[in-house]
Chain A
Amino acid sequence: MADKDVIICRCEDLTREEVRKLIEAGFTTIEEIKRVSRCGMGPCQGRTCHQLLVREIASITGQSAEEIAPAVARPPIKGVKLGTLLKEAESHE
Protein backbone atom coordinates (compact mmCIF):
# COMPACT_ATOMS: atom_id res chain seq x y z
CA MET A 1 0.00 0.00 0.00
CA ALA A 2 1.23 3.50 -0.75
CA ASP A 3 2.07 5.76 2.20
CA LYS A 4 -0.82 8.02 1.33
CA ASP A 5 -3.25 5.13 1.76
CA VAL A 6 -1.92 3.95 5.11
CA ILE A 7 -3.71 5.58 8.03
CA ILE A 8 -1.64 6.20 11.14
CA CYS A 9 -4.20 8.07 13.23
CA ARG A 10 -7.75 6.88 12.59
CA CYS A 11 -9.47 9.55 14.66
CA GLU A 12 -7.83 12.35 12.70
CA ASP A 13 -7.46 10.60 9.34
CA LEU A 14 -3.75 11.16 9.24
CA THR A 15 -1.81 9.20 6.66
CA ARG A 16 1.65 7.75 6.83
CA GLU A 17 2.67 10.09 4.02
CA GLU A 18 1.65 13.14 6.07
CA VAL A 19 3.38 11.84 9.19
CA ARG A 20 6.59 11.13 7.29
CA LYS A 21 6.60 14.61 5.78
CA LEU A 22 6.36 16.16 9.24
CA ILE A 23 9.18 14.03 10.64
CA GLU A 24 11.34 14.91 7.66
CA ALA A 25 10.54 18.61 8.22
CA GLY A 26 12.03 18.35 11.72
CA PHE A 27 9.06 17.51 13.96
CA THR A 28 10.78 14.49 15.42
CA THR A 29 9.11 14.01 18.80
CA ILE A 30 5.64 12.69 19.57
CA GLU A 31 4.70 15.90 21.40
CA GLU A 32 5.64 18.07 18.42
CA ILE A 33 3.91 15.89 15.84
CA LYS A 34 0.80 15.73 18.00
CA ARG A 35 0.63 19.50 18.12
CA VAL A 36 1.03 20.20 14.44
CA SER A 37 -1.14 17.34 13.19
CA ARG A 38 -3.56 16.39 16.05
CA CYS A 39 -2.19 12.84 15.79
CA GLY A 40 -3.37 11.05 18.94
CA MET A 41 -5.65 13.86 20.07
CA GLY A 42 -8.93 12.31 18.89
CA PRO A 43 -11.49 10.33 20.88
CA CYS A 44 -9.17 7.30 21.29
CA GLN A 45 -6.41 9.52 22.71
CA GLY A 46 -3.62 7.78 20.86
CA ARG A 47 -4.35 4.20 21.78
CA THR A 48 -3.90 3.01 18.22
CA CYS A 49 -1.61 5.53 16.61
CA HIS A 50 0.92 5.95 19.37
CA GLN A 51 2.89 2.81 18.57
CA LEU A 52 2.64 3.40 14.84
CA LEU A 53 3.98 6.91 15.28
CA VAL A 54 6.89 5.69 17.40
CA ARG A 55 7.78 3.27 14.62
CA GLU A 56 7.69 6.00 11.96
CA ILE A 57 9.89 8.33 14.03
CA ALA A 58 12.32 5.50 14.75
CA SER A 59 12.61 4.51 11.12
CA ILE A 60 13.33 8.04 9.91
CA THR A 61 15.51 9.36 12.73
CA GLY A 62 17.38 6.13 13.39
CA GLN A 63 16.51 6.21 17.09
CA SER A 64 15.35 3.02 18.78
CA ALA A 65 11.71 2.87 19.86
CA GLU A 66 12.81 2.93 23.53
CA GLU A 67 14.61 6.24 23.03
CA ILE A 68 11.46 8.00 21.86
CA ALA A 69 9.65 9.78 24.68
CA PRO A 70 5.98 8.79 24.96
CA ALA A 71 3.22 11.41 24.81
CA VAL A 72 2.01 12.83 28.10
CA ALA A 73 -1.15 10.97 29.13
CA ARG A 74 -3.94 13.35 30.05
CA PRO A 75 -7.14 12.66 31.97
CA PRO A 76 -9.85 11.49 31.54
CA ILE A 77 -8.69 8.05 30.41
CA LYS A 78 -11.95 7.53 28.58
CA GLY A 79 -14.25 10.20 27.14
CA VAL A 80 -16.88 11.32 29.66
CA LYS A 81 -19.96 13.39 28.93
CA LEU A 82 -20.24 16.87 30.40
CA GLY A 83 -23.80 15.95 31.46
CA THR A 84 -22.45 12.98 33.44
CA LEU A 85 -19.90 15.23 35.11
CA LEU A 86 -22.65 17.63 36.12
CA LYS A 87 -24.61 14.78 37.73
CA GLU A 88 -21.45 13.68 39.54
CA ALA A 89 -20.97 17.22 40.81
CA GLU A 90 -24.57 17.50 41.99
CA SER A 91 -24.42 14.13 43.74
CA HIS A 92 -21.79 15.28 46.21
CA GLU A 93 -23.22 18.67 46.99
Chain B
Amino acid sequence: MNKNTAEVVIIGGGIIGCATAYYLAKAGVTDVVVVERNYLSSGSTGRCGAGVRQQWGLKMNCLLAKESIRAFETLNEELDTGFDIEFKQKGYLMLAYNEKMVEQYKKNVALQQSLDIPVKLITPDEAKEIVPHLNTDGLLAATFCPTDGHINPFTATISYAEAAKRLGVRVMTYTEVTGIEVENNKVVAVNTSNGKIHTNKVFNASGGYSREVGAMAGVELPTHPERHQILVTEPVARLQDPMVISLQHGFYCQQTPHGSFVMGFGDPNELKEHVVTSSWNFMEEMAEKVLPVLPPLAELRVVRQWAGLYNMSPDAQPILGEMPNLQGFFNAVGFSGHGFMLAPVTGMLMAELMSGQEPHLDIKPLSIERFEKGELLREPSVV
Protein backbone atom coordinates (compact mmCIF):
# COMPACT_ATOMS: atom_id res chain seq x y z
CA MET B 1 0.00 0.00 0.00
CA ASN B 2 2.88 2.35 0.86
CA LYS B 3 4.25 3.74 -2.35
CA ASN B 4 7.99 4.38 -2.05
CA THR B 5 8.24 7.72 -3.82
CA ALA B 6 6.83 11.15 -3.03
CA GLU B 7 7.16 14.64 -4.41
CA VAL B 8 7.59 16.02 -0.89
CA VAL B 9 8.36 14.24 2.40
CA ILE B 10 7.44 16.23 5.48
CA ILE B 11 9.26 15.24 8.67
CA GLY B 12 7.07 15.97 11.68
CA GLY B 13 3.34 15.79 12.31
CA GLY B 14 3.02 18.92 14.42
CA ILE B 15 1.08 22.03 13.46
CA ILE B 16 3.82 23.16 11.04
CA GLY B 17 4.07 19.85 9.18
CA CYS B 18 0.31 19.33 9.00
CA ALA B 19 -0.52 22.91 7.98
CA THR B 20 2.12 22.82 5.25
CA ALA B 21 0.83 19.46 4.00
CA TYR B 22 -2.62 20.98 3.68
CA TYR B 23 -1.49 24.13 1.85
CA LEU B 24 0.69 22.07 -0.50
CA ALA B 25 -2.25 19.84 -1.37
CA LYS B 26 -4.49 22.85 -1.75
CA ALA B 27 -1.97 24.23 -4.27
CA GLY B 28 -2.20 20.97 -6.19
CA VAL B 29 0.88 19.20 -4.78
CA THR B 30 -0.83 16.12 -3.38
CA ASP B 31 1.96 13.56 -3.69
CA VAL B 32 3.06 14.37 -0.16
CA VAL B 33 3.88 12.13 2.82
CA VAL B 34 3.92 13.34 6.41
CA VAL B 35 6.19 11.15 8.54
CA GLU B 36 5.61 11.37 12.29
CA ARG B 37 7.55 9.33 14.81
CA ASN B 38 4.72 9.26 17.30
CA TYR B 39 1.14 10.45 16.81
CA LEU B 40 0.04 13.79 15.35
CA SER B 41 0.57 16.71 17.78
CA SER B 42 2.70 14.56 20.10
CA GLY B 43 5.58 17.08 20.01
CA SER B 44 5.63 20.72 21.07
CA THR B 45 2.32 21.43 19.39
CA GLY B 46 0.25 19.25 21.71
CA ARG B 47 2.11 20.65 24.71
CA CYS B 48 1.80 24.34 23.95
CA GLY B 49 -0.37 27.19 25.16
CA ALA B 50 -1.54 27.79 21.58
CA GLY B 51 -1.88 31.50 22.23
CA VAL B 52 -2.06 33.60 19.07
CA ARG B 53 -1.18 37.28 19.20
CA GLN B 54 -0.32 40.06 16.82
CA GLN B 55 1.26 42.20 19.52
CA TRP B 56 4.89 41.99 18.47
CA GLY B 57 7.71 44.48 18.28
CA LEU B 58 9.06 43.35 14.91
CA LYS B 59 7.16 44.20 11.77
CA MET B 60 7.83 40.73 10.34
CA ASN B 61 6.25 39.02 13.36
CA CYS B 62 3.25 41.36 13.30
CA LEU B 63 2.62 40.61 9.64
CA LEU B 64 3.06 36.86 9.96
CA ALA B 65 0.84 36.68 13.03
CA LYS B 66 -1.82 38.94 11.56
CA GLU B 67 -2.17 36.81 8.47
CA SER B 68 -2.21 33.62 10.52
CA ILE B 69 -4.96 34.92 12.76
CA ARG B 70 -7.01 35.84 9.74
CA ALA B 71 -6.63 32.25 8.53
CA PHE B 72 -7.50 30.79 11.95
CA GLU B 73 -10.71 32.86 12.00
CA THR B 74 -12.17 30.87 9.12
CA LEU B 75 -10.26 27.62 9.51
CA ASN B 76 -13.19 25.51 10.74
CA GLU B 77 -15.19 26.41 7.63
CA GLU B 78 -12.23 26.08 5.29
CA LEU B 79 -11.06 22.68 6.51
CA ASP B 80 -14.59 21.42 7.22
CA THR B 81 -13.50 18.28 9.07
CA GLY B 82 -16.02 18.29 11.90
CA PHE B 83 -13.33 19.19 14.44
CA ASP B 84 -13.56 22.57 16.15
CA ILE B 85 -10.25 24.41 16.59
CA GLU B 86 -11.91 26.26 19.52
CA PHE B 87 -10.53 29.67 18.63
CA LYS B 88 -11.36 31.88 21.59
CA GLN B 89 -10.80 35.31 20.10
CA LYS B 90 -11.11 37.41 23.23
CA GLY B 91 -7.84 39.23 23.03
CA TYR B 92 -4.47 39.36 24.73
CA LEU B 93 -3.87 41.72 27.62
CA MET B 94 -0.18 42.54 27.99
CA LEU B 95 0.84 44.11 31.30
CA ALA B 96 3.60 46.69 31.78
CA TYR B 97 5.18 47.23 35.21
CA ASN B 98 8.09 49.55 34.49
CA GLU B 99 8.74 52.69 32.47
CA LYS B 100 11.03 50.95 30.04
CA MET B 101 8.35 48.45 29.19
CA VAL B 102 5.74 51.20 28.80
CA GLU B 103 8.05 52.95 26.35
CA GLN B 104 8.58 49.71 24.43
CA TYR B 105 4.82 49.04 24.35
CA LYS B 106 4.16 52.53 23.02
CA LYS B 107 6.54 51.81 20.15
CA ASN B 108 4.99 48.40 19.57
CA VAL B 109 1.48 49.85 19.52
CA ALA B 110 2.47 52.53 17.00
CA LEU B 111 3.97 49.86 14.74
CA GLN B 112 1.01 47.52 15.15
CA GLN B 113 -1.53 50.27 14.48
CA SER B 114 0.37 51.22 11.32
CA LEU B 115 -0.24 47.65 10.17
CA ASP B 116 -3.98 47.88 10.94
CA ILE B 117 -3.78 45.68 14.01
CA PRO B 118 -6.58 46.88 16.35
CA VAL B 119 -4.44 47.30 19.46
CA LYS B 120 -4.60 50.00 22.13
CA LEU B 121 -2.46 51.23 24.99
CA ILE B 122 -4.77 51.29 28.03
CA THR B 123 -4.72 52.36 31.67
CA PRO B 124 -4.75 49.97 34.65
CA ASP B 125 -8.43 50.85 35.24
CA GLU B 126 -9.31 49.99 31.66
CA ALA B 127 -7.39 46.74 32.04
CA LYS B 128 -9.48 45.94 35.12
CA GLU B 129 -12.65 46.44 33.14
CA ILE B 130 -11.48 43.75 30.73
CA VAL B 131 -10.24 41.40 33.47
CA PRO B 132 -12.18 42.23 36.66
CA HIS B 133 -10.11 39.90 38.86
CA LEU B 134 -6.86 41.65 37.88
CA ASN B 135 -4.93 43.16 40.78
CA THR B 136 -3.62 46.44 39.37
CA ASP B 137 -1.06 47.13 42.15
CA GLY B 138 2.13 48.32 40.54
CA LEU B 139 0.66 48.17 37.07
CA LEU B 140 1.58 51.20 34.95
CA ALA B 141 -0.20 50.44 31.69
CA ALA B 142 -1.25 47.61 29.43
CA THR B 143 -1.90 46.90 25.80
CA PHE B 144 -4.94 45.07 24.53
CA CYS B 145 -5.72 43.63 21.13
CA PRO B 146 -9.21 42.11 20.93
CA THR B 147 -8.52 39.93 17.88
CA ASP B 148 -5.74 37.93 19.56
CA GLY B 149 -6.67 34.75 21.43
CA HIS B 150 -5.96 31.07 21.81
CA ILE B 151 -6.80 27.80 20.13
CA ASN B 152 -7.04 24.07 20.82
CA PRO B 153 -3.73 22.82 19.40
CA PHE B 154 -4.83 19.19 19.09
CA THR B 155 -7.94 19.78 17.03
CA ALA B 156 -6.19 22.41 14.91
CA THR B 157 -3.44 19.92 13.99
CA ILE B 158 -5.87 17.06 13.39
CA SER B 159 -8.06 19.31 11.24
CA TYR B 160 -5.17 20.30 9.00
CA ALA B 161 -4.13 16.66 8.72
CA GLU B 162 -7.63 15.39 7.97
CA ALA B 163 -8.16 18.06 5.32
CA ALA B 164 -4.77 17.24 3.77
CA LYS B 165 -5.60 13.54 3.73
CA ARG B 166 -8.88 14.27 2.00
CA LEU B 167 -6.85 15.94 -0.77
CA GLY B 168 -4.57 12.91 -1.13
CA VAL B 169 -1.73 13.50 1.34
CA ARG B 170 -0.47 10.34 3.09
CA VAL B 171 0.21 10.49 6.82
CA MET B 172 2.49 7.87 8.36
CA THR B 173 2.33 7.95 12.14
CA TYR B 174 4.51 5.86 14.47
CA THR B 175 7.16 6.05 11.75
CA GLU B 176 10.57 7.52 12.49
CA VAL B 177 12.85 9.19 9.99
CA THR B 178 16.26 7.59 10.50
CA GLY B 179 18.30 9.08 7.68
CA ILE B 180 18.32 11.41 4.70
CA GLU B 181 20.23 10.47 1.56
CA VAL B 182 22.02 13.18 -0.36
CA GLU B 183 23.79 12.97 -3.74
CA ASN B 184 25.64 15.85 -5.42
CA ASN B 185 24.20 18.35 -2.93
CA LYS B 186 20.67 17.21 -3.67
CA VAL B 187 18.24 15.32 -1.49
CA VAL B 188 17.36 11.95 -3.02
CA ALA B 189 15.66 9.84 -0.35
CA VAL B 190 14.43 9.61 3.21
CA ASN B 191 14.89 6.45 5.25
CA THR B 192 12.25 5.62 7.80
CA SER B 193 11.52 2.83 10.24
CA ASN B 194 8.92 1.74 7.68
CA GLY B 195 11.12 1.83 4.60
CA LYS B 196 12.79 4.19 2.16
CA ILE B 197 10.93 6.99 0.35
CA HIS B 198 12.57 8.38 -2.79
CA THR B 199 12.07 12.12 -3.01
CA ASN B 200 13.76 15.33 -4.13
CA LYS B 201 12.12 17.51 -1.52
CA VAL B 202 12.33 17.10 2.23
CA PHE B 203 10.70 19.50 4.64
CA ASN B 204 12.18 19.59 8.13
CA ALA B 205 9.26 20.38 10.44
CA SER B 206 10.58 18.34 13.33
CA GLY B 207 10.26 21.01 16.03
CA GLY B 208 12.52 20.35 19.03
CA TYR B 209 14.50 17.84 16.97
CA SER B 210 15.31 20.13 14.05
CA ARG B 211 19.05 20.04 14.68
CA GLU B 212 19.12 16.23 14.76
CA VAL B 213 17.07 15.96 11.57
CA GLY B 214 19.32 18.53 9.87
CA ALA B 215 22.36 16.49 10.85
CA MET B 216 20.86 13.48 9.04
CA ALA B 217 21.25 15.48 5.83
CA GLY B 218 24.71 16.72 6.83
CA VAL B 219 23.36 20.16 7.62
CA GLU B 220 24.27 22.10 10.74
CA LEU B 221 21.31 24.04 12.09
CA PRO B 222 21.93 26.59 14.85
CA THR B 223 18.92 25.46 16.87
CA HIS B 224 18.59 23.81 20.25
CA PRO B 225 15.79 22.50 22.45
CA GLU B 226 14.74 24.24 25.66
CA ARG B 227 12.21 22.81 28.07
CA HIS B 228 9.16 24.91 29.00
CA GLN B 229 6.61 23.89 31.59
CA ILE B 230 2.89 24.50 31.76
CA LEU B 231 -0.11 23.43 33.84
CA VAL B 232 -3.87 23.19 33.66
CA THR B 233 -6.55 23.52 36.34
CA GLU B 234 -9.95 21.96 36.73
CA PRO B 235 -12.63 23.65 34.59
CA VAL B 236 -14.65 26.43 36.23
CA ALA B 237 -17.36 28.84 35.11
CA ARG B 238 -16.32 31.54 32.65
CA LEU B 239 -14.18 34.08 34.46
CA GLN B 240 -11.45 35.42 32.20
CA ASP B 241 -11.85 36.45 28.59
CA PRO B 242 -8.39 37.36 27.30
CA MET B 243 -5.01 35.75 27.61
CA VAL B 244 -3.16 37.70 30.29
CA ILE B 245 0.57 38.01 29.83
CA SER B 246 3.21 39.72 31.88
CA LEU B 247 6.69 39.88 30.43
CA GLN B 248 7.84 41.26 33.80
CA HIS B 249 6.84 38.05 35.60
CA GLY B 250 7.34 36.04 32.44
CA PHE B 251 3.97 34.31 32.64
CA TYR B 252 0.90 33.83 30.48
CA CYS B 253 -2.50 32.68 31.71
CA GLN B 254 -5.65 31.87 29.78
CA GLN B 255 -9.05 30.29 30.41
CA THR B 256 -9.96 27.83 27.67
CA PRO B 257 -13.53 27.78 26.29
CA HIS B 258 -13.83 24.49 28.16
CA GLY B 259 -13.35 26.33 31.47
CA SER B 260 -9.92 25.16 32.61
CA PHE B 261 -7.08 27.65 33.09
CA VAL B 262 -3.81 26.99 31.28
CA MET B 263 -0.70 28.85 32.42
CA GLY B 264 3.04 28.76 32.17
CA PHE B 265 6.14 30.89 32.51
CA GLY B 266 9.54 31.12 30.90
CA ASP B 267 12.41 30.18 33.19
CA PRO B 268 15.80 31.43 31.96
CA ASN B 269 17.50 28.53 33.74
CA GLU B 270 15.46 25.83 32.03
CA LEU B 271 17.14 22.67 30.77
CA LYS B 272 18.45 22.98 27.25
CA GLU B 273 17.95 19.30 26.52
CA HIS B 274 15.39 16.90 25.13
CA VAL B 275 13.56 16.50 28.44
CA VAL B 276 9.81 16.73 28.75
CA THR B 277 9.30 15.62 32.34
CA SER B 278 8.10 18.29 34.76
CA SER B 279 9.47 19.54 38.05
CA TRP B 280 7.64 20.06 41.36
CA ASN B 281 8.94 23.54 41.99
CA PHE B 282 7.39 24.65 38.71
CA MET B 283 3.87 24.54 40.21
CA GLU B 284 4.94 26.50 43.28
CA GLU B 285 6.77 29.11 41.25
CA MET B 286 3.80 29.39 38.93
CA ALA B 287 1.57 30.10 41.93
CA GLU B 288 4.04 32.71 43.19
CA LYS B 289 4.03 34.52 39.86
CA VAL B 290 0.38 34.41 38.91
CA LEU B 291 -1.49 34.82 42.21
CA PRO B 292 -0.32 38.34 43.06
CA VAL B 293 -1.62 39.46 39.66
CA LEU B 294 -4.76 37.30 39.47
CA PRO B 295 -5.55 36.55 43.15
CA PRO B 296 -8.88 34.69 42.86
CA LEU B 297 -7.15 31.91 40.93
CA ALA B 298 -5.84 30.70 44.32
CA GLU B 299 -9.05 28.66 44.60
CA LEU B 300 -8.39 26.70 41.41
CA ARG B 301 -7.07 23.17 41.61
CA VAL B 302 -4.19 22.20 39.36
CA VAL B 303 -5.03 18.87 37.76
CA ARG B 304 -2.08 18.35 35.49
CA GLN B 305 1.31 19.74 34.62
CA TRP B 306 3.57 18.84 31.74
CA ALA B 307 6.44 20.17 29.68
CA GLY B 308 7.42 20.60 26.07
CA LEU B 309 10.29 21.92 24.00
CA TYR B 310 10.86 25.32 22.53
CA ASN B 311 13.10 25.00 19.47
CA MET B 312 15.38 27.99 19.99
CA SER B 313 17.31 29.82 17.30
CA PRO B 314 20.13 32.30 18.03
CA ASP B 315 17.83 35.32 17.69
CA ALA B 316 14.60 33.65 18.87
CA GLN B 317 13.12 33.98 15.38
CA PRO B 318 12.21 31.15 13.01
CA ILE B 319 14.45 29.93 10.22
CA LEU B 320 12.46 29.52 7.01
CA GLY B 321 13.50 28.48 3.54
CA GLU B 322 15.55 26.11 1.42
CA MET B 323 19.04 25.25 2.62
CA PRO B 324 21.73 26.97 0.59
CA ASN B 325 24.05 24.29 -0.88
CA LEU B 326 21.56 21.49 -0.37
CA GLN B 327 18.89 21.48 -3.02
CA GLY B 328 15.55 20.16 -1.87
CA PHE B 329 16.14 20.52 1.89
CA PHE B 330 13.62 22.94 3.36
CA ASN B 331 13.34 24.11 6.97
CA ALA B 332 10.72 25.78 9.08
CA VAL B 333 12.40 25.49 12.46
CA GLY B 334 13.62 27.46 15.46
CA PHE B 335 10.24 29.01 16.27
CA SER B 336 11.51 29.76 19.77
CA GLY B 337 8.15 29.46 21.51
CA HIS B 338 5.85 31.17 19.03
CA GLY B 339 5.48 28.66 16.23
CA PHE B 340 1.91 27.64 16.82
CA MET B 341 0.52 31.06 16.04
CA LEU B 342 2.62 31.36 12.89
CA ALA B 343 1.62 27.99 11.46
CA PRO B 344 -0.98 29.00 8.87
CA VAL B 345 1.20 31.60 7.19
CA THR B 346 4.29 29.40 7.51
CA GLY B 347 2.38 26.58 5.84
CA MET B 348 1.32 28.84 2.99
CA LEU B 349 4.81 30.26 2.48
CA MET B 350 6.54 26.89 2.61
CA ALA B 351 3.98 25.42 0.22
CA GLU B 352 4.66 28.28 -2.18
CA LEU B 353 8.42 27.75 -1.95
CA MET B 354 8.23 23.98 -2.39
CA SER B 355 5.87 24.21 -5.34
CA GLY B 356 8.23 26.62 -7.09
CA GLN B 357 6.25 29.83 -6.59
CA GLU B 358 7.53 33.13 -5.28
CA PRO B 359 6.45 33.41 -1.60
CA HIS B 360 3.76 36.06 -1.18
CA LEU B 361 5.72 37.69 1.68
CA ASP B 362 9.43 38.40 1.56
CA ILE B 363 10.89 35.82 3.93
CA LYS B 364 14.54 36.37 3.02
CA PRO B 365 15.16 38.10 6.37
CA LEU B 366 14.24 34.74 7.98
CA SER B 367 16.72 32.72 5.93
CA ILE B 368 19.49 30.81 7.68
CA GLU B 369 22.07 33.02 6.00
CA ARG B 370 21.23 35.86 8.36
CA PHE B 371 23.40 34.31 11.07
CA GLU B 372 26.49 34.26 8.87
CA LYS B 373 25.83 37.78 7.68
CA GLY B 374 25.26 38.95 11.23
CA GLU B 375 21.79 40.22 10.33
CA LEU B 376 20.06 38.98 13.44
CA LEU B 377 16.47 39.95 14.13
CA ARG B 378 15.62 41.39 17.52
CA GLU B 379 12.19 40.78 18.92
CA PRO B 380 11.69 42.63 22.20
CA SER B 381 8.43 40.92 23.21
CA VAL B 382 9.15 37.24 23.83
CA VAL B 383 8.15 35.18 26.88
Contacts and interface: CB of A to CB of B under 8 A. Distances in A.
Interface of A: 29, 31-32, 35-36, 38, 41-43, 45, 74-76, 79-83, 85-86, 88-90
A41 B305 CA distance: 11
B233 interface: yes
B140 to A, nearest CB: 24
Given A74-B278, A85-B287, A42 B234 contact: yes
Contact of A76 (B40, B154, B283, B290): B283
Contacts of B304: 41, 45, 74-76
A86 B286 CA distance: 8
B234 A85 contact: no
Given A36-B154, A81-B299, A85-B286, A75 B233 contact: no
B83 A79 contact: no
Given A83-B291, A86-B288, A35 B302 contact: no
B234 A43 contact: yes
Nearest 3 pairs of A and B residues by beta carbon = A83-B298, A79-B301, A89-B284
Contacts of B234: 42-43, 79
Nearest to A75: B305
B46 A82 contact: no
A36 B83 contact: yes
29 contacts: A29-B39, A35-B41, A36-B83, A36-B155, A38-B258, A41-B303, A43-B301, A74-B304, A75-B278, A75-B305, A76-B303, A76-B304, A76-B305, A79-B301, A79-B303, A80-B301, A81-B299, A81-B300, A82-B291, A82-B298, A82-B300, A82-B301, A83-B299, A85-B283, A85-B287, A85-B302, A86-B298, A88-B284, A90-B288
Contacts of B42: 31
Contact of A85 (B154, B232, B278, B284): B284
A84 B158 CA distance: 37
Contacts of B233: 79, 82
Given A35-B154, A74-B278, A83 B303 contact: no
Interface in B284-320: 284-288, 290-291, 297-306
B283 A36 contact: no
A88 B304 CA distance: 18
A93 to B, nearest CB: 9
Interface string B235-276: 100000000000000000000001000000000000000000
Contacts of A74: 278, 304-306
Interface string B345-379: 00000000000000000000000000000000000
Contact of A83 (B41, B235, B285, B287): B287
A53 B291 CA distance: 36
Nearest to B173: A32
Contacts of A41: 232, 303-304
A81 B261 CA distance: 12
A80 B291 contact: no
A61 B155 CA distance: 23
Contact of B302 (A29, A36, A79): A79
Contacts of A32: 39-40
Given A76-B305, A81-B299, A89-B287, 13 more contacts: A31-B39, A41-B304, A75-B280, A75-B283, A75-B305, A76-B302, A82-B287, A82-B299, A82-B302, A85-B283, A85-B286, A86-B298, A90-B288
B299 A80 contact: no
Interface in B39-66: 39-42, 46
A42 B303 contact: yes
Nearest to A72: B306
A61 to B, nearest CB: 14
B175 to A, nearest CB: 14
B324 to A, nearest CB: 37
A13 B116 CA distance: 42
Interface string B99-127: 00000000000000000000000000000
Contact of B287 (A29, A36, A45, A86): A86
A46 B235 CA distance: 15
Nearest to A92: B284
